[in-house]
Amino acid sequence: MLVELDLHGAVVLVTGGVRGVGLGITRAFLSAGATVVTCARRPAEVEGASFVPCDVRDADQVSELVSGIVAEHGRVDVVVNNAGGAPFALADKASPRFHSKIVELNLLAPLLVSQAANEVMQEQGSGSIVNVSSVSGRRPSPGTAAYGAAKAGLDSLTSSLAVEWAPKVRVNALAVGMVRTEQSHLHYGSEAGIEAVARTVPLGRLASPDEVGACAVFLASPLASYVSGATLVVHGGGEAPAFLTAADGGTA
């Protein structure tokens, strides 16, 4: 039986919700009937959603962002901490400042936004926070070591905040695998490279941003009303162990 999620009346903030995975999340909440506010450092338009410029690493800007949403809409029901990412840089070549900025964006910024949102949600009596994490926090992340470490920290932060802020606020995360976006070529190269990478996934393809968005909507919805402190893995089955391709006809 198909269950359609109805979030009419819900006010949702999606950080970095204007492109890539964030855009898929924004579209999913709009499809569910929610009022969606997006933010990013650079202006961008998403049909059906409003936009507020904000650097989520800046506590003052985050406070203004959340208070502005409350002033306009009266409440904040859902926050999706999606803003994040990291360019490729080997750990021994990247500067201390580079590492600091990566951790700041992928771990400390979600904490800042969550703190501001939680204050509102506790007062209104309910709320849901969804942190967009990564499989990089669960396996080696060569070339993006600080990013992987930050995402591992985000998973830990998710479970801790779920305990501290219960019972009024639920806090969950998505550990997202490889997603096909407009920037896939930066990570995987040509179309042939993208297709080759997709074949390493048990489901045989990369995720679409909309599929990640659907999972975010589920965690924020009443269907997940007893789910808190959880990290939902969205990776198409993960990665086949390397030894399977290296083995000479044997089995483990």
93-110: pLDDT as tens digits: 999 999 999 999 999 999
| 187: pLDDT strictly greater than 70 | no
* Cβ-count burial 109-129 (b if 16+ within 10 Å, e if not): bbebbbebbbebbeeeeebbb
What does pTM read for this prediction? 0.94
**What is the percent of the chain with per-residue pLDDT over 90, rounded to a whole number?**
82
The predicted pLDDT at position 108 comes to 98
pLDDT digits (tens, 9 = 90+) for 26-62: 999 999 999 999 999 988 889 999 999 999 999 999 9
Question: Does 45 or 83 have the greater pLDDT score?
Answer: 83
Structure confidence by residue, pLDDT tens digits, 143-172: 999 999 999 999 999 999 999 999 999 999
pLDDT in tens, 190-200: 788 888 888 88
- Residue positions annotated with a catalytic role: 147
Q: Which of 20-34, 119-133, 163-177, 184-198 has the lowest mean pLDDT?
A: 184-198
Token couple for 47: 């049909």
Q: Please tell me the distance from the alpha carbon of residue 175 to that of residue 135, in angstroms, as a whole number.
A: 5
Return the SS3 of 39: strand
What distance, in Å, lies between the first and last C-alpha atoms of the chain? 39
d(CA 142, CA 147): 10
The answer on pLDDT for 241 being more than 90 is: no
pLDDT of residue 43: 86
Q: Above 50 in pLDDT, residue 1?
A: no
On the question of pLDDT at 249 being above 70, the answer is no
Q: What are the Cα distances from residue 11, in Å, to 26, 76, 93, 127, 166?
A: 12, 5, 43, 10, 20
Task: Tell me how far apart the alpha carbons of residues 93 and 75 are, in angstroms, rounded to a whole number.
Answer: 45
pLDDT at 250 over 60: no
The per-residue pLDDT for 120 is 98
Question: In 41-160, at which residue ranges do the beta strands (DSSP E only) sit?
Answer: 50-53, 78-81, 127-134
- What does the mean pLDDT of the chain come to? 93
